[in-house]
Structure 1
Amino acid sequence: MYESLLQTTKRTSKQNDLSMKKTILVAILGVLLLTSSQKHPAKNTSANKQKMALALNAQYHLGISPDLVLPFDSAGMDSLLSGYKAFFDVTPSDSAGEEEEEEEEDEICVDEKMVDIYIPYAFNDLVKHGFKPISNEQFEQRLAELGIDSMQRKNLPYVFDHQHYFTIPSCVRGWSDRTESERKSLNDENYVKFSCMNDFFIKGYNFISSPPMDIESVRQIHGKMCFRLSNDIIHINRFLFNNDKESFLWLCKYAPLWLKDLFVTYGYDKNELINRQMLKRMMQELKSDMWDSDLRETRLGFMYNTFARKIYTQKPYVAIREGLFKTLLQLPTNDKNSLWMDVLDFYGETLLKKDLSDCAYWFSRFTKNERYMIAAYTAYYLIKLREKYNRNGAPFYDDALRNDNRFRQYLEKQHYFNLPGFDKMSENILNYNKAVGQ
């Protein structure tokens, strides 16, 4: 995948080289706009803003239709910055109550007008900091890999399409699958639509953003509010759309939640680097959660929405992150990584429990058949992992094949989910159990 992304980046660079021929024309246009505005400032302000935006569109070959190009609204930006300044100037007292906090949250609530003001300034700032604009086709291709292209997102709840952008509720910004599973009890969709728990995908300009009213999007310099994208927005765009490895390393060090967002929210398990980062993060969370070094005293919270996640479309289904399993098999064989054998075995054992009362709540969100499916994938990759350590079978799976007829019949009915060689692996386990009298 990285090779194809590099080729895409090279094509984009060639397009940018060709655009240099237009740069002089863009500069001349800017001079003409300035001269005209000096002669007729009031009359030409609106027209000039639109022409500046059109010039930006032409310079970077964005391919945005003229009626979708957004002007640089300096008055609107000044208004937004004033709002930021008021936010900066407020110093909450120790006696501030919940009501005051709620009012403050309402003041920074996102609306469409704010985003439209924000977009051209944000894009311009991205380009200044090394982002290479991509075509609509490249953008749509990457959205498809994230499962949110124009057709895919029609089936997703609480995804709101606007003229210039669409929003996706983010699992690392406060969205919870528990909320989603209980969505019928949410009477006001505006709670999600205008909240700051969304990722914003900008149409035409083709980039991703955190909520535009994110306080990190401004800097206060000598008492004056100045617009400036946060570094994490710059680097997530350079990594996701330009395949910039330096930006990936920066995100790993300073903004790992963005990488977690790509994986957990969008199931983006096709990137080996992100998968390895996720496995590293999970192991860190496991060790901080272990009680007296006993894995089985944990509640497996670090496994939530990792190897599997329930997607609550009109017909809910489970998405298996098979790419993460495959990356796990690529890790070096050593004592540190051998712990994954115990983790997967305990995970599979928990999935097959008949009584989930002492398990983390999210296990009960899966139906029995869904848990059977996740357990099957877990067993398949656990067997392969144990083979790397010269061990046979998978303890939880061996036991389930012997004692859980319903589970075994379900696997047979599903043709072992067409996992290569899984039926033969299972047959060998059963034959071995019979041979040793189990």
Structure 2
Amino acid sequence: MAVDFKEFDRDTSDDSDDSMNDVSIDEDIDENSPDEHSEISENENHDDSDDEDEVVKAIKAELTKSRDHPPTIITEDFIVDICFHPARNLIALANIVGDVLLYEYGNEENKLINTLELHVKACRDVEFNDNGDTMLSTAKDKVILGTDVETGKLKFCYENAHDEPVYKLSSLDCNKFVTGDDCGTVKLWDTRKSEAVFTIKIGEEYVSDVVTTEAQKYLACSAGDGILTSIDLKASKIYSTSEPYDAELTCMGLFRSDTKLVVGSSIGKFYLFNWKEFGLHSDEYTGHKHAIQCMLPITQNIVVSSGEDGIIRAAHMFPQRQLGIVGQHNLPVECLDISHDGQFIASSSHDNDLKFWNISYFESIDTLINVNEKQNKKKDLRNNLPSSTVKNASDFFSGLA
């Protein structure tokens, strides 16, 4: 079911980037108790270092470098969605009261440059179009707005765009975008036209995410009913539907030059599909023990994802390998996005906070993954990634002794 953020109520928390989740990393690090982890000796650590692979060496080398990133943004209201500008150091924050905040971000400070009071009900999604001159937003009020980024003036408005509140909006180019609502209706829009180009009913549950390739022939749609539906954008009709899954399909990402589709679920599994073969997944991977709420393709092979436990994790999909913890929040993470230059990701949580993580090191790590090498899961999970403020697992548990 779609989450109604309008009723969500909680206290804000002024945690800093150096704060640490007190409880949630242990269950994903190992099934052993803290006492068993505390017995890790210096000799064992020395033995591990002798046979470290190149990935671990690269991670440890990055840990000695300063990780420059913008400071945390704390807001008064719950952040429902975020979006980086495609060409500038701007980020949009859509909140539960219907406003969109525009920040200019930098390593030293973040500057609020505009507060746009756009919707009368909770925002659901905010996106920039391809050239970045228009910001698209939608809300529980069923309205879709296009706002000029420079002036803040309204460029277009679709009132009662759907019969039900819009859950997901995705920009396709400078003029076209796609929306999906709480009850399974998908619409294609062209800002040069007064009505939707087409309307297709794909199910009865909320449309959680929509993804297409550069060719824009097929649109993949994930939904709360556990079915992956693809739409032929040229023919304006359903192309295929998958077998139903015993979980909500929550988010998607494209990999391997748009030949692989990875779908996240409410049971913590990733389902891997070949593009255009949407009937049944070709592989699956358990990436979390909790629901996956959001994901980001960082490279052609690496996904960053998060959800209910507030931990942001990185995994290599080809081959499947856990890389470690990118960052963390004290409460569930609602959304992720990546900056135009690929240097930062931003994450927002139920704490009303937006955090930035410097992930530029992924480029070098991706090239070092050995497809034929057997994974040492225990060793990988003891080496958290340079962006994370969580200490290495062995050090963390030793401190509890």
TM-score by length of 2: 0.29
For the pair shown, the structure with the greater C-alpha radius of gyration is: 1
Larger relative helix fraction: 1
More strand by share: 2
TM, length-normalised to structure 1: 0.27
